[in-house]
Amino acid sequence: MAITKIHPIKSTLNLAIAYITNEEKTDEKILVSTNKCFASTAHTAFIKTREDNKVNGTVLAIHLIQSFMPGEATPEIAHQIGMKLCKRILKDQYEFVLTTHIDKGHIHNHIIFNNVNMVTGKCYQSNKRSYHQIRYQSDKLCKENNLSVIDEFYETYRKKYKTNGKSWYENDKFKKGTSWKSRLQFDIDKAIKQSKDWDDFIKRMATLNYEIKYGKHIAFKHKDKERFTRAKTIGDDYTEESLKERIAEISSIKTFAVKKCIGNIIYMNTNVKVKESKSHEYWATKHNLKTATDTVLLMREKGFKSISQLDEFIKESADKRQNLQDKIKVIDKKISVLSNTMEQVHTVKMYRQIYLEYKKDPSDKAFFEEHKSEITLYENSLSDLKKSYSKLPNSKDILKELDSLHEKKNTLMQEYSSAKSDMKELYQIRKNYEKYMGKEMER
């Protein structure tokens, strides 16, 4: 399996080349190869080619990294593959330095090539098309050397949704639908409820370790993340305009109408402190009167004119919560099925080459014994997939559907969490009323 990454070098070209040719990383520079230049003076050769062709662009060179799965390729094979990749994509028209690093848990190639073509004098066009060509040639070389080829959509799925290696906290957040975008959604909601105006909201998001970027769409980046997330991607209620409207709406509500914490009614007849202390009895009486008043006022604020009306609303709210829970369970089941399908597709792709080699000569007992587990996994996964699909599913489509399901789950989890909080308050109102009043409250 080979993973490719590419990025431009705009400064300190000499340091970049010195890093990739480090003798401790390249088996004392045995795994270093060059084209039309020498490793020690490659940076000056690159600059001379630029000057000869009067190129003034900011990009000095292109740095390509090709990583292999641990244990799958030897340093020598990896270096050979790197050299063949250079010949196929650069066609002997660019100066380059190729090194193979063996100091990490996985063997990987570094290729730094001049941004200027020695033959045409033009700059290398680094874009999606050229990168896909690199990926295509890299994958082709892996197949030619009986190495597995990476599925970029499976890799995205693995990083996003597989729980292996997650901490308990991260895994718990993942299961509850409160990770990634949902975490941003939760933090924004929390900040809005506490903010008196837009500036206050921005400050509160900053205290939650978010960096904010303005533009056509407002975007947030947590300190633990590498990229900004446009707020509008987590829902229509999170565009900059909607956020400001929500803050203004909350700010306009009276202090009492903003969620108020209602205390408990104290049982005077059974409370030990009340029985033993007159002062505590006096305090408890005042507390109960205030709590009862707050309870009645909050009922009025919420529009309940009778306890029976409150009971009906509680029942409807409980039904709504149960409905949300049922929807979440259905989505969880679909996610589980699709995740299993993604793993099966990955297994089939990973071990296809081994299986094809085995089918060429099924009588080769030594080969079968060496790869028995891989062949069995391949056959079982393919057999399971055939029960639901007429052809091998596309991992891109699976990932797209999984993303959609997780977004739906995150939204439902937010609704469920909000409903749960509201229900807790309603139950407290009902409990206090029953304890203190003992009768239905009419107009």
Could you give the count of Cα atoms lying within 13 Å of 388 in the half-sphere of its Cβ? 12
The contacts found for 366-375 with CB under 8 angstroms, 24 or more apart, are 375/351
Could you give the count of Cα atoms lying within 13 Å of 403 in the half-sphere of its Cβ? 15
For the segment 41-69, the average pLDDT, to the nearest whole number, is 93
* pLDDT for position 254: 34
What predicted TM-score, i.e. pTM, was given to this entire model? 0.50
pLDDT grade for 266, boundaries at 50, 70 and 90: low
Q: What is the mean pLDDT of the chain?
A: 82
Residue for token pair 């052809």: 391
* Contact yes or no for 85/138 (Cβ under 8 A): yes
E strands, 142-293, in order: 210-213, 219-222, 229-230
Tell me which of 121-130, 153-162, 334-343 is least confident.
Answer: 153-162
pLDDT, tens digit, for every residue of 272-308?
Answer: 676 677 776 777 777 767 776 676 666 776 677 677 7
Q: What is the DSSP letter of 112?
A: E
For the segment 391-396, the average pLDDT, to the nearest whole number, is 93
144 SS3 class:
helix
Every domain of the chain and the residues it spans? 2-150, 175-252, 261-443
Q: Where are the alpha helices (DSSP H) in 258-306?
A: 272-276, 278-301
Strand order from edge to edge, sheet including 229-230: 210-213, 219-222, 229-230
* pLDDT for position 137: 92
Q: Could you tell me which of 11, 2, 16, 95 has the C-alpha nearest to residue 63?
A: 16
* pLDDT for position 409: 85
Tell me which of 31-40, 85-94, 180-189 is least confident.
Answer: 180-189
pLDDT grade for 169, boundaries at 50, 70 and 90: very low
Tokens of 294: 């707050």
* pLDDT for position 334: 94
pLDDT, tens digit, for every residue of 6-24?
Answer: 899 998 999 999 999 999 8
More reliable by pLDDT, 395 or 233: 395
* pLDDT for position 110: 95
Residue for token pair 């797209």: 400
The domain 2-150: what is its CATH number? 3.30.930.30
How far is the CA of 29 from the CAs of 23, 41, 97, 112, in angstroms?
Answer: 5, 15, 12, 16
